[in-house]
Structure 1
Amino acid sequence: MSGNESGARDIPKVISVDDHVIEPAHLFATWLPAKYRDRGPQPFTAGIGELAYVGGKYRFTTDPEGQVTDWWRYEDEIFPYKRIIAAVGFSRDEMTLDGITREQMRRGCWDPKARLADMDMNHVEASLCFPTFPRFCGQTFAEAKDKEVGLACVRAYNDWMVEEWCGDSGGRLIPLCLIPLWDVDLAVAEIRRNAARGVRAVTFSEIPTYLGLPSIHSGYWDPFFAACEETGTVVNMHIGSSSQMPAASPDAPPAVQASLSFNNAMASMMDFLFSGVLVKFPRLKLAYSEGQMGWIPYALERADDVWEEHRAWGGVKDLVPEPPSTYYYRQIFCCFFRDKHGIEAIETVGVDNATFETDYPHVDSTWPHTKQVATDHVGHLPEDVAYKLLRGNAIRMLGLPFDQDRTAAATA
């Protein structure tokens, strides 16, 4: 029974601000300049062997007797595709760390035309996709020894993202680009190169110091933030983009990390709220991806209380002139897909700050039931609020060419 048949109000189509793409095997052979191809990422297929979790990262070996898997080889590292990152179409009990080939995946994982068809099935109009092999903010290339090739790989990925993945989608696939994390001047150049062709989203680490990079407090990233502000480029920070997920104990099962994944987003947001970055760059927009939002009301309450009671000794008296929540409501976006507690507190979370995601094709994805999940969350809310949460805020955040009359009226 449809929403209209049941008497419930129909909901608008979703714009998902957090999905993922599995890179096609031809990506670097096609888009990397010829002189780098023999030193760039190489696709191969082999059996997968033992799994170990070392230093916050999964480590795999190949095994001729193991599950046939598609891999990338880059410098001294090998990277397998696992079923949990291409989980759509599998039952919950089949969503494991087993290896998988592209042919075993649902085609929408890596084929843009098939992705659009899966979006049509899922009540989704447009989608912003994070990388997989490069990792969430390009850590794979930042960790490479040969930075000349690494830079060429970043640019090749971005060219593929803009021209091939998004190119024929009519704007429904929204480009999300990488930067060379190891050099802020190169990062600024890449922001400007992509902005010139209409890109308005870049992925960045939630906690750069975990990657051995300067902190946002150091001033090192100010040219990057300035370029993003100037070009209207949204800084998107996905959980895990610090290559470190929180866990209570080193031997805890992965379910603990999955349950605590919002912690990195919360820590990152506090970092920004007390950094002065949002004061210095008042038009800079930050987006927290897959962090959910039920935790935000207390985090803002605590931040404002610390600012009020402790700012003299806390080092922010002159750095942050207004309560931290001021900058959150002005410049930060969160996103959700299953978070009824956050919906109950949506006025405090911010009806203008929350966006929606489907997480296709990961294990958490709401595909193909997104319309049902979204209706269950926002179907009882005022129509204008539901519109903002499911698409309006994403349109405004990313400057998308959808619903232009309605968006202009809402911001007038």
Structure 2
Amino acid sequence: MGASGVRELPRIISVDDHVIEPAHLFETWLPRKYRDRGPKPFRAGIGGLQYIGGKYRFTTDPGGQITDWWAYEGQVFPYKRVIAAVGFSRDEMTLDGITRDQMRKGCWDPKARLDDMDVNHVEASLCFPTFPRFCGQTFAEAQDKEVALACVRAYNDWMVEEWCGESGGRLIPLCLIPLWDVDLAVAEIERNAARGVRAVTFSEIPTYLGLPSIHSGYWDPFFAACEATGTVVNMHIGSSSQMPAASPDAPPAVQATLSFNNAMSSLTDFLFSGVLVRFPRLTLAYSEGQMGWIPYALERADDVWREHRAWGGVRGLIPEPPSTYYYRQVFCCFFRDKHGIESIETVGVDNATFETDYPHVDSTWPDTKQVAAEHVAGLPEEVAYKILRGNAIRMLGLPFDAGRAVASTA
């Protein structure tokens, strides 16, 4: 308790934030022989927006709003205000283009990010990429895979050495893998684990990217490498390059509302895949998926396992109720989810983590402390600690709170 008798809120560890890549990233970190074929930053006007099949299409326009872009393999990728929204009012958080000069500096500068974390009661942060997309789809879709592999490695070197390197452990490295080759993926996991990286981003539903499914066994060497190195597999909503919508012409608000569906589908896939049985020390983390849906998803999975496993294709494959593996190996995270908090015992006091989503349109910055306090106000102090901080420390093996037990009670 503080001097006023009000419970002190532990400093937050956010397991899902985002970084806007600096313009010098590939010029600095990509080997010289690949730079002519690698991504190049440029600034130009942005043209009209098309929303086709759940995806946005942008073009340049000399008369349009000046925007910062990347050019890569004949395609262009703009930065939009919604992905660098902190500091703008709600009515200003649009799909308009934006330059780095117009963003808060904390979007792309690590020292400024630490300052913004201090303002926001946040001690440490795990950041997903923007231009490469949430699990590196930009490079997986490239034609020249030699350059794409060099880009993955360059991004990871920048992430570890520049973005996180001088943060004193407060910026937590999250690396990419070359999704198109599982052996190269294993090599990249091992390369980064050797320098202390304990988090990698992966697709929530690989088949949506044209990749083998998790049921096929293709990814087992990747899962084995992650298990062996203690590398957490982080899956962000949208890392399948698709967002759920009831109709192809539905407005983006439908996708925003249903975004948790991808996490729910992915979790169910994993629970019935046998992956968590074969790799009992593998850790999965669902990023920005929220958690209010988890109690019923687990209830239904366990009911199906009990009642329908004979014809459902999982008899002998899943020896225990699927929820067993969730509680043992899976973490969820949230930024606003009061229904999930009301069900926290079923969600799992050892499974829930917190995020700020900086600098996206959903971010609670600079009011995260207030939002967090409102959510955990009715919880025991130890449970609040776990959700806001302790579970993230345990999940990622972070060097914080060494004198305090953070072990799971499961």
TM-score, length of structure 2 as denominator length: 0.98
Cα distance between partner residues in 2 of 1:252 and 1:86: 24
User: Structure 2 residue aligned with 1:349, among 344, 347, 350?
Assistant: 347
CA contact (8 A) 2:287 2:332 kept: yes
User: Structure 2 residue aligned with 1:340, among 338, 343, 348?
Assistant: 338
Cα distance between partner residues in 2 of 1:211 and 1:381: 40
Shift of 1:407: 3.2
1:65-144 correspondence runs (5 A): 65-144=63-142
Shift of 1:404: 1.4
Shift in CA distance, 408/332, structure 1 to aligned 2, threshold 3 Å: closer
Residue deviations 1:265-322, cap 9 Å, x none? 0000000000000000000000000000000000000000000000000000110000
Q: Is 1:275 aligned to residue 257 of structure 2?
A: no
CA contact (8 A) 1:396 1:407 kept: no
- Residue in 2 aligned with 1:304? 302
- Residue in 2 aligned with 1:58? 56
SS in 1 for 2:405: helix
Residue deviations 1:217-254, cap 9 Å, x none? 00000000000000000000000000000001111110
SS in 1 for 2:135: coil
User: Structure 2 residue aligned with 1:248, among 201, 226, 246?
Assistant: 246
Cα distance between partner residues in 2 of 1:69 and 1:409: 47
CA contact (8 A) 1:56 1:243 kept: no
CA contact (8 A) 2:120 2:369 kept: yes
Cα distance between partner residues in 2 of 1:41 and 1:176: 20
Shift of 1:5: 7.3
Cα distance between partner residues in 1 of 2:176 and 2:75: 20
- Residue in 1 aligned with 2:157? 159
Cα distance between partner residues in 1 of 2:309 and 2:56: 41
Q: Give 1:372's aligned amino acid.
A: Q
Higher alpha-carbon deviation: 187-196 or 48-57: 48-57
Residue deviations 1:32-70, cap 9 Å, x none? 000000100000000000111234321100011111000
CA contact (8 A) 2:53 2:248 kept: no
Cα distance between partner residues in 1 of 2:280 and 2:138: 31
CA contact (8 A) 1:239 1:261 kept: yes
Shift in CA distance, 409/317, structure 1 to aligned 2, threshold 3 Å: closer
Percent identical pairs in the alignment equals 87
Shift in CA distance, 16/409, structure 1 to aligned 2, threshold 3 Å: closer
Cα distance between partner residues in 1 of 2:180 and 2:321: 33
CA contact (8 A) 2:350 2:409 kept: no
User: Which 5+ residue runs of structure 2 have no aligned equivalent?
Assistant: none
Shift in CA distance, 342/95, structure 1 to aligned 2, threshold 3 Å: same
Cα distance between partner residues in 1 of 2:216 and 2:195: 30
Q: Give 2:187's aligned amino acid.
A: A
Cα distance between partner residues in 2 of 1:380 and 1:345: 12
CA contact (8 A) 2:237 2:262 kept: yes
Higher alpha-carbon deviation: 54-63 or 269-278: 54-63
User: Structure 2 residue aligned with 1:185, among 183, 186, 199?
Assistant: 183
Cα distance between partner residues in 1 of 2:41 and 2:3: 49
CA contact (8 A) 2:31 2:150 kept: yes
Shift of 1:8: 2.8
Cα distance between partner residues in 2 of 1:393 and 1:77: 40
User: Structure 2 residue aligned with 1:257, among 243, 255, 258?
Assistant: 255
User: Structure 2 residue aligned with 1:48, among 39, 46, 49?
Assistant: 46
Higher alpha-carbon deviation: 375-384 or 296-305: 375-384
SS in 1 for 2:131: coil
- Residue in 2 aligned with 1:322? 320
Higher alpha-carbon deviation: 130-139 or 51-60: 51-60
CA contact (8 A) 2:26 2:151 kept: yes
Cα distance between partner residues in 2 of 1:274 and 1:230: 22
TM-score, length of structure 1 as denominator length: 0.98
- Residue in 1 aligned with 2:169? 171
Shift of 1:192: 0.1
Shift in CA distance, 280/140, structure 1 to aligned 2, threshold 3 Å: same
CA contact (8 A) 2:394 2:406 kept: no
Q: Give 2:152's aligned amino acid.
A: V
SS in 2 for 1:352: coil
Cα distance between partner residues in 1 of 2:320 and 2:407: 29
Q: Give 2:348's aligned amino acid.
A: G
Shift in CA distance, 408/328, structure 1 to aligned 2, threshold 3 Å: closer
User: Structure 1 residue aligned with 2:288, among 287, 290, 293?
Assistant: 290
Q: Give 1:196's aligned amino acid.
A: A
User: Structure 1 residue aligned with 2:25, among 18, 24, 27?
Assistant: 27
- Residue in 2 aligned with 1:215? 213
Cα distance between partner residues in 2 of 1:188 and 1:28: 23
Q: Is 1:10 aligned to residue 8 of structure 2?
A: yes
Cα distance between partner residues in 1 of 2:60 and 2:338: 42
Q: Give 1:89's aligned amino acid.
A: G
Shift in CA distance, 124/218, structure 1 to aligned 2, threshold 3 Å: same
- Residue in 2 aligned with 1:392? 390
User: Which 5+ residue runs of structure 1 have no aligned equivalent?
Assistant: none
Task: Give the aligned length.
Answer: 410
SS in 2 for 1:404: coil
